Amino acid sequence: MERTCLAIILAAGESTRMKSAMSKVLHPVAGRPMIAHVVDALASASIADVALVVGRDAEAVSTAASTGSVNVSSFLQKERLGTAHAVLAAREAIEKGYDDVLVVFGDTPLITAAPLTAARERLAEGNDVVVIGFETADPTTGYGRLIVEDGELLAIREHKDASEEERRITYCNGGLMAISGRKALDLLGRIGNANVKGEYYLTDLVEIVRSLGGRAIAVKAPEEELTGCNTRAELAYIERLWQQRRRHELMLAGVSMVAPETVFLAWDTELAQDVLVEPNVVFGPGVRVESGAVIHAFSHVEGAHVRAGATVGPFARLRPGADLGPKSKVGNFCEVKKAEIGAGAKVNHLTYIGDAFVGAGSNIGAGTITCNYDGVNKHVTRIGENTFIGSNSSLVAPVSIGSGALVASGSVITEDVPADAVAFGRARQEIKPGRAPILRERYEAEKAARKKINASE
């Protein structure tokens, strides 16, 4: 679009209804602050200039909003006197002169580019104020109602100020509004606070612009995109909607999910085509899974790169820095942290691999532990290619195992093992022929003696 645009994000509210020690816009949706989702939507609508209005937790909110390529400048709203008052905190930015001023809320994280662009297009057609609205079956939660007649928006009535009849209207204000940049400051300056809450309502702009002979309209967007977050219950609802939307997108892009409703994604989870995700899998931030990989049931994956054809779980935990090579396997009750598992290597059962390199084709036996921490510092374990680490071995880092080496099960390895060597790190087994019956006889006699004492007491 040729027209210039300033987006103003309102995020200064007290978040009273959230009952939280931090501003609601900092609460995470899909593992990232709500406000960052809003900034992302603006970026995907090609809006580069953003004024952020902050109040409570100003610094943290500004930091959380500085994401991607968007140029965000913060403005402090010193007192919380309502949404119109908040917009005017960004007066300096508006004064720079933009064709469009787009007001969005920091507590509406499901918004996408489409309605923002649609609102700007309607502004370009000559409307002065364009409000993004939605239809809802249940407007009782306190949304402002859109009063529309013959395609024109006459007014927005806040729930608290609405009459019984107006409250029955199901067309609601999504809280997002595009305003003619040329008129914005004049219109905002005319808003008063004569209402139930005694606040300066941005929504009054509609009646004001009409009284001056201007045009206001509403455009409809899907309800879910405009769901606002005021309480913890709404936060959980928004999370659910976000998850549903993203799972659906991924499935359409070729990812298989057996029970999608039990798979939890992070905002940046990347699952390639032909990845299979079994039930009850949780992805934390920073995960990339390549084509053909399988994430078996009940796995927890965070900050990990799972390469083509690798398999994870069931019941595996991948922590940040886990890098699983092509066709490698990390099986049940294994934990991998900051470690590279080479192509085709197998870590199948009950194992911890941390701060380590495991070469291609190596087989790590059940119960192997890389002892990477001495209580103060972390140390690295290097395991070459095609090694065999016997079950229940402790590899005390720093230590390295050369390619082709074999570690006997139950070993505690404290010194480097050269390539192709066999290492025993345990006492050797002794055999005493015929000794078992003698021992058993002695045990029987001890048991009989104990019984006799008990009976005489």
Residues identified as active-site: 349
Residue by residue, DSSP assigns 271-285 as E-TT-EE-SSEEE-S
Spatial CA neighbour of 98 closest among 168, 51, 36, 141 = 51
Decide: is 280 part of the binding site for ligand UD1 (CB under 6 A).
Answer: no
> 445: exposed, middle or buried (C-beta count within 10 Å: 0-12, 13-18, 19+)?
exposed
| Cβ neighbours, 10 Å, residue 433 | 5
For residue 124, the minimal CB distance to ligand UD1 (Å) is 24
Interaction residues for Ca ion, span 204-263 (CB under 5 A): 228, 230
How many amino acids of this chain bind Ca ion (CB under 5 A)?
A: 3
Number of residues that bind ligand UD1 (CB under 6 A): 29
- Residue among 144 and 344 whose Cβ is closer to Ca ion: 144
Among positions 106, 115, 342, 359, the unique one binding ligand UD1 when judged by CB under 6 A: 106
**11 sits near ligand UD1 (criterion: CB under 6 A):** yes
* 77 binding ligand UD1? (CB under 6 A): yes
Of these partners, ligand UD1, Ca ion, none, which one is at the site of residue 284 (CB under 5 to 8 Å by kind)?
none
Q: Is 81 in the site for ligand UD1 (CB under 6 A)?
A: yes
Let me know if 315 is exposed, middle or buried by CB neighbors in 10 A (0-12, 13-18, 19+): middle
Q: Does 101 bind ligand UD1 (CB under 6 A)?
A: no
Contact 217, 100 (CB under 8 A): no
Collapse the DSSP code of 348 into the 3-class scheme (helix H, G, I; strand E, B; otherwise coil) and give the result: strand
Pick from 109, 115, 175, 260: which binds ligand UD1 (CB under 6 A)? Answer: 175
Query: Which residue number places its CB atom closest to ligand UD1?
Result: 144
In the complex with ligand UD1, the residue whose CB is nearer, 169 or 297, is 169
How near is the Cβ of 167 to Ca ion at its closest, in Å? Answer: 17
- Find the helix or strand (DSSP H, E) in which 83 lies: helix 83-88
203 alpha-carbon distance from chain centroid: 32
> Among all chains, which residue has been given the structure tokens 């939507």?
41
Name the residue nearer to Ca ion (CB basis): 228 or 313: 228
Residue 353's nearest CA partner among 329, 322, 387 is 322
Piece of the chain touching ligand UD1 by CB under 6 A; list 78-86, 247-255, 335-343, 444-452: 78-86
Orientation of helix 34-44 relative to helix 58-65, angle to 10°: 40
Could you say which of Ca ion, ligand UD1, none residue 395 binds, taking C-beta under 5 to 8 angstroms by partner kind?
Answer: none
The answer to whether 224 touches 108, Cβ cutoff 8 Å, is no
The two tokens of residue 6 are: 């300033």
Contact criterion met (CB below 8 Å) for 117 and 83: no
> How near is the Cβ of 167 to ligand UD1 at its closest, in Å?
13
E strand or H helix at 442: helix 435-456
User: Does residue number 13 form part of the binding site for ligand UD1 (CB under 6 A)?
Assistant: yes
Structure-token pair, residue 98 = 């933009």
Nearer to ligand UD1, 92 or 420 (CB): 92
Q: Residue 274 is encoded by which pair of tokens? A: 């032909």
Query: Which two structure tokens, joined as six digits, stand for 121?
Result: 């297009």
Stretch that binds ligand UD1, among 82-90, 257-265, 337-345, 447-455 (CB under 6 A): 82-90
Report which DSSP code applies to 373: B
Binding residues among 201-260 for ligand UD1 as defined by CB under 6 A = 201-203, 228, 230
417's CB contacts (< 8 A; 6+ apart) are 399, 400, 401, 402, 405, 407, 423
CA 222 from centre of chain: 22
Distance CA 182, CA 127 (A): 12
Name the binder of 86 from Ca ion, ligand UD1, none, CB < 5-8 A by kind.
ligand UD1
Interface with ligand UD1 (CB under 6 A), residue from 83, 127, 370, 381: 83
Q: Is 33 in the site for ligand UD1 (CB under 6 A)?
A: no
Q: Is 85 in the site for ligand UD1 (CB under 6 A)?
A: yes
Q: In angstroms, what is the minimal distance from the CB of 286 to ligand UD1?
A: 28
35 is a site residue for ligand UD1 (CB under 6 A) = no
Specify the residue, 173 or 328, whose C-beta has the smaller distance to ligand UD1.
173
The enclosing H or E element of 401 equals strand 399-401
Site track 75-114 with Ca ion (rule: CB under 5 A), x = hit: --------------------------------x-------
Site residues, Ca ion (CB under 5 A): 107, 228, 230
Please report, as ranges, the residues that interact with ligand UD1 according to CB under 6 A. 10-13, 53, 77, 80-83, 85-86, 105-107, 142-144, 156, 158, 172-175, 201-203, 228, 230
